[in-house]
Structure 1
């Protein structure tokens, strides 16, 4: 365990966020590597894989229950120096991860085709997305175990082992992608199905290595099957903190689904361009996300140690770091948006939509960074309901106007991007207001 209740907050943020950023980049590369090789198969294949990949937002929403609940409670226990409670939470999280993986595979294989039919009317896109999902589902199921283990380590202030495992996984994925998608060296090309195969094999190897680490090297939180019997009080604690965070990501899935539904009238090229641009945007968000992922562990340990001034300092420095980085990325996107998407497709219409999306949506970057930071602080404080309220407000303020605009004769795709900029800016102000109220309420210790 690393004690985050002592020492420089700024150094803790940097030391934790850099490995987290690398780990997040590695995860994003799973999609970008697949997208690059799938891009050689045509616009329908890109649109299908991108749309199917959005189903992973549902898995992220579910893994967030484990991620936030486990990391927060383990960090609070570490701050109190309560190793017993940290181990109970960790093993109950592993139990939940096994159950959720089984449910994911059962539902996923039953509903993949129906899901794709709701996102597109193009038969080629539906076929490509369904084929990809069938082979990508094992990856989605294994994410629960990865998240449970990485969240427990992050709660104790340890992030480098997970980053190294993720790096190895993506290297395996990069090697397998051209072999399985394009048939390099084998002559057997599986197309979009190969993209799903490569990702699933890579994450399976990563899970095996993480399990080995916990069994052989980790000492503060350990895999203990005697603690796998359901302990309802502990499970309730995980869900009380994790459920709002999971619901928040589910709203993000709804937001993406609304966009795909609204822009389908512009054709497969528009959906493919948005899918490509949104993947690149997610990669650009990684620095802000890394800071937001580091902040809860630091804030959480200091909440457990009843050091309110260090919790406030954590937010202040995280907000400044995030805003500066995202402002720089905004300027780069305004200058060279097309550079980020060039090479992923040969279709000029797809590239035009993707670069146009980035050149407008980059005005989102600073307010989005603040939203991420506030969400991380809500996690550290142990109350994630305000973050859910903020996201729900944003979804309603975005979805209703988009649905109305899509029915108008003057509807243009750029209206969707500008509406996103306006609504996320308003969301950032609401998140800051709600966070101030929570800190004033919860950082009063006897």
Structure 2
């Protein structure tokens, strides 16, 4: 356990954000490697896997429910120096991860064909996306256990083990991808099925490795089978914090689904370009997402320890760092978008769609950094409903105009990107206003205590 209630806030942010960022970078490589080899299978494969990958937002939404609730409650317990409570929450989180994994596996196989039929540009893209999901769904189900363990460690201020596990599994995925997708060394190319299988094998390795860490090395929170009987009061507390955050990702699933639906008439080339551009953009966001991921448990421990001014300082320092980084990334994405996407496709039309997407949406990078930081602070405070309201405003202000525009004869793809910039800017302002309100309400309920010398 690392005490985040003492010492310089910036030092805590940086010391946690660096390994988080490294882990996330390797985690993203794991998707980009698949994308690189899938891209050589043609536009239909890219479009199908890209559209199928959107279902990850549902899984990420459900893992957010589990992860955010776990981080918030464990960080609050750590701040209060209540180890038994932290252990109870961790073990109940493990139980919930098993339930959610089973639901994901059964539900995923049930809806795959229906979902792909609704969003795929053509029959080839539908087949590719469906095949990819069939092989990747077991890996998606395992992500709940991985998130549960990683979130418990993050709540206690420990992030290095999760990063090491991510690095090892990404290396495994990088080794497996060309073998399974392209048939290197075997002569048997599985195509998009190999992409899904490689990811699933890597996630199996990740869960086993992190479980061994908890069994052999972790002492503050650890496996206690006697605490695996479902405790509804603990589930209720985790879900109260986690459900709104999960709702955020489900709304993002709707947001992405609307885009794929609006551009489907432009064919697989447009969907492939958007798939590449959005994946690259998610990679660009990683440093600021790492800052936000670090800010949450820092704010949570200090909230639990009744240090309101340190909670406020966490936001001020985190948002300043995020804005500076995003401003630099905006310049890079706006000046050289072709450089960022060029390695993923040789098709000039696909590359143009992806580069145009990045060049225009780069104008909302700073706003996105503010949104990430505010969302993390809501998690640290233990009330994520404002973040759901903020994301809901974006979906509402984007989806309705986008659907209307797509039915007009003058509609072009870049109109969606400009609309996205406007709606993200609005969301950033709303997030900031909601956080100010939360600070006034939530921090007023805790009185400052003297900080030990």
What TM bracket, shorter-length normalisation?
over 0.9
Q: Given the alignment of the two structures, is residue 38 of structure 1 paired with residue 27 of structure 2, yes or no?
A: no
Which position in structure 1 is the counterpart of 2:61?
A: 61
Give matches, 1:406-417, under 5 Å: 406-417=406-417
Q: Deviations over 1:87-123 (max 9, x none)?
A: 0100000000001111111111122111100112400
Shift of 1:138: 1.1
Which position in structure 2 is the counterpart of 1:139?
A: 139
- In 2, the alpha carbon distance for the partners of 1:401 and 1:102 equals 37
- In 2, the alpha carbon distance for the partners of 1:121 and 1:428 equals 32
- In 2, the alpha carbon distance for the partners of 1:414 and 1:158 equals 42
Shift of 1:24: 1.3
Which position in structure 1 is the counterpart of 2:372?
A: 372
Shift of 1:66: 0.8
Q: Given the alignment of the two structures, is residue 390 of structure 1 paired with residue 390 of structure 2, yes or no?
A: yes
Which position in structure 2 is the counterpart of 1:92?
A: 92
- In 2, the alpha carbon distance for the partners of 1:286 and 1:125 equals 28
- In 2, the alpha carbon distance for the partners of 1:390 and 1:55 equals 21
RMSD: 0.6
Give matches, 1:20-169, under 5 Å: 20-169=20-169
- In 2, the alpha carbon distance for the partners of 1:29 and 1:256 equals 21
- In 1, the alpha carbon distance for the partners of 2:429 and 2:299 equals 21
- In 2, the alpha carbon distance for the partners of 1:401 and 1:220 equals 50
Which position in structure 2 is the counterpart of 1:256?
A: 256
Q: Give structure 1 stretches of 5+ with no counterpart.
A: none
- In 2, the alpha carbon distance for the partners of 1:109 and 1:319 equals 40
SS at match of 2:186: coil
SS at match of 1:338: helix
- In 1, the alpha carbon distance for the partners of 2:115 and 2:404 equals 23
Shift of 1:360: 0.4
Which position in structure 2 is the counterpart of 1:10?
A: 10
Q: Deviations over 1:288-336 (max 9, x none)?
A: 1111111110000000000000000000000000000000000011111
Which position in structure 1 is the counterpart of 2:335?
A: 335
Q: Deviations over 1:42-88 (max 9, x none)?
A: 01100111111111110000000111000000000000000000001
Which position in structure 1 is the counterpart of 2:361?
A: 361
- In 1, the alpha carbon distance for the partners of 2:343 and 2:304 equals 48
Q: Given the alignment of the two structures, is residue 401 of structure 1 paired with residue 401 of structure 2, yes or no?
A: yes
Whether the 8 Å CA contact 2:47–2:120 is kept in 1: the answer is: no
**Runs of 4+ in structure 1 displaced over 6 angstroms?**
none
Q: Given the alignment of the two structures, is residue 181 of structure 1 paired with residue 181 of structure 2, yes or no?
A: yes
Which position in structure 1 is the counterpart of 2:308?
A: 308
- In 1, the alpha carbon distance for the partners of 2:364 and 2:298 equals 26
- In 2, the alpha carbon distance for the partners of 1:52 and 1:225 equals 36
SS at match of 2:343: coil
Which position in structure 2 is the counterpart of 1:435?
A: 435
With 310-319 and 336-345 compared, the bigger mean Cα shift is at 336-345
Shift of 1:347: 1.1
Q: How many residues align?
A: 446
Q: Deviations over 1:7-38 (max 9, x none)?
A: 00000000001111111112211211100000
- In 1, the alpha carbon distance for the partners of 2:234 and 2:55 equals 29
Q: Given the alignment of the two structures, is residue 271 of structure 1 paired with residue 271 of structure 2, yes or no?
A: yes
Q: Give structure 2 stretches of 5+ with no counterpart.
A: 448-453
SS at match of 1:184: coil
- In 2, the alpha carbon distance for the partners of 1:18 and 1:254 equals 31
- In 2, the alpha carbon distance for the partners of 1:260 and 1:237 equals 36
SS at match of 1:190: coil
Which position in structure 1 is the counterpart of 2:191?
A: 191
Shift of 1:225: 1.0
- In 2, the alpha carbon distance for the partners of 1:225 and 1:114 equals 39
Shift of 1:177: 0.2
Which position in structure 2 is the counterpart of 1:289?
A: 289
The TM-score with structure 1 as length reference comes to 0.99
- In 2, the alpha carbon distance for the partners of 1:113 and 1:229 equals 36
Whether the 8 Å CA contact 2:121–2:271 is kept in 1: the answer is: no
Shift of 1:227: 0.5
The TM-score with structure 2 as length reference comes to 0.98
Q: Deviations over 1:340-390 (max 9, x none)?
A: 111211111111100010000101100001000000000001100000001
Q: Deviations over 1:226-268 (max 9, x none)?
A: 1010111110000000000000111011000000000111111
